[in-house]
Structure 1
Amino acid sequence: MITMKDIIRDGHPALRKRAKEVPVPLTKEDRELLLDMLEFLENSQDPHLAEQYDLRAGVGLAAPQLNISKRMFAVLIEDDDGNEYRYGLANPKIVSHSVKKAYLTSGEGCLSVDENIPGYVPRYDKITITGIDHNGNEVKLRLRGLVSIVFQHEYDHLNGVMFYDHIDEKDPFAPIPNSKPIGDEE
């Protein structure tokens, strides 16, 4: 079982490296890693288990955050309509995106970053992403809003990019042109 002790923290060099492609078909080990990452997210969102194992709640986790240089991440989140997005993806690729941007009004957080870093993180409002799921199937997802933001955050980890790299250093809360603010209530 993955716990917070397994997650490397900001400043670790592995978080700044581009992760390596995963051989396909997926090995048993890689399938198990995707399932373990999904299990962590499920456990972290369960108040009882999160308290029992001292887990911070998360909606996404990337292999580089476990000091594993593989292009793999897991996401577990619901959209505004209550649709669950539960995916462990290998070799994800963003194949298209909107011109319009979106950002979380509360800013973003990260399981690898212990402090709160305030500021708007501009992301694409809509993306289409492809990848191989934990069962070895090719998937193509069209995502928008909060779900799109979460997938982009995890995708960045595969390229050695941290969420705060996108924040305007001079004015962290500068208006983002052609964008949709997404509030805490979503």
Structure 2
Amino acid sequence: MITMDDIIRDGHPTLRKVAEEVSMPPSQEDIELLTSMHEYLVNSQNPETAMKYQLRAGIGIAAPQINVSKRMIAIHAKDEKDQQHSYTLFNPKIISHSVEKAYLTSGEGCLSVDEAFPGFVPRYSKITVKAMDLQGKEVKLRLKGIMAIVFQHEIDHLNGVMFYDHINKKDPYYVPDHSIAVER
């Protein structure tokens, strides 16, 4: 089981590396690691389990955050309609995106970042992602709103990018033209 002790913190060099592609079909070791990343998210959202194991709640995690520089992400989050979405993906890649931007009105946080970084993080409001599932089958996802934001946050981790890199340094609450506010 992955715990908070397994999650590396901001400043660790692995968080700034471009992660390696996972060869397909995935190895049993990679499948188990990705499955346990997903289990962390599910457990972290259960108040009793989170308290028992001292887990910080998360809705997404990328392998580089546990010091594994491979292109793997797990997501367990609810969309704006309170629908639960769960994904365990290898080699996710954004293949298209909208011109329109979106940002979380509450700002973004990260399991690897302990301090708060106030400001808006502009993202694409809609994206299409291609990836491989746990069985090594290709999946194509069309995402919008909160789910598009979560995916972009996690895919950034695979490219050595942190969410606060996107915040406007001169005006943290700058709202780009053609952007929509997303409540969380």
TM-score in terms of structure 2 length: 0.98
Cα-to-partner distance string for 1:136-167 (whole Å, 9 max, x where unaligned): 22110000000100000000000000000000
1:175: Cα distance to partner? 1.9
Contact 2:15/2:161 (CA < 8 Å) preserved in 1? yes
Report % sequence identity: 62
| Residue equivalent to 2:82 | 82
Partner of 2:33: 33
Tell me which amino acid in the other structure corresponds to 2:23: P
How much is the aligned-residue C-alpha RMSD, in angstroms?
A: 0.8
Aligned partners of 1:176 and 1:121: how far apart in 2? 10
Q: Which residue number in structure 1 is paired with residue 65 of structure 2?
A: 65
Superposed, which structure 2 residues align to 1:91-110 within 5 Å?
91-110=91-110
State the distance in 2 between where 1:34 and 1:136 align: 12
Query: Which residue pairs with 1:113 in the alignment?
Result: 113
CA distance, structure 1, for counterparts of residue 124 and residue 178 of structure 2:
10
Deviation string, structure 1 residues 93-145 (Cα, Å, up to 9, x no partner): 10000000000011000000001110000000000001011222211000000
Do the aligned partners of 2:80 and 2:145 also contact (CA within 8 Å) in 1?
A: no
Partner Cα distance (2:85, 2:151) in 1: 10
Give deviations 1:25-60, integer Å, cap 9, x for gaps: 011011111100000000000000000000110000
CA drift of 1:183 comes to 1.8
- Runs in 1 of length 4+ with deviation above 3 angstroms? none
- SS for the counterpart of 2:164 is helix
Q: Distance in 2 between matches of 1:171 and 1:126?
A: 24
Q: Any idea what SS the aligned residue of 1:30 has?
A: helix
Question: Matched residue pairs, number?
Answer: 184
In structure 2, runs of 5+ residues without a counterpart are none
- Alpha-carbon offset, residue 82 of structure 1: 3.3
1:167-186 Cα offsets, whole Å, 9 max, x none, are 000110012211000123xx
Correspondence 1:169-180 to 2 at 5 A: 169-180=169-180
Amino acid at match of 2:22: V
| Residue-by-residue CA offset, 1:6-26 (whole Å, 9 max, x unaligned) | 000000000000000000001
Counterpart-to-counterpart distance in 2, 1:66 and 1:74: 12
Aligned twin of 2:16: 16
**Code of the aligned partner of 1:111:** L
| Structure 1, unaligned runs of 5 or more | none
Partners of 1:22 and 1:83 in 2: how far apart?
Answer: 29
2:139 aligned partner: 139
Which amino acid is the alignment partner of residue 77 of structure 1? Answer: A
The 3-state SS of whatever aligns with 1:61 is strand
TM-score (norm 1): 0.97
- Counterpart of 1:3, as a letter, is T
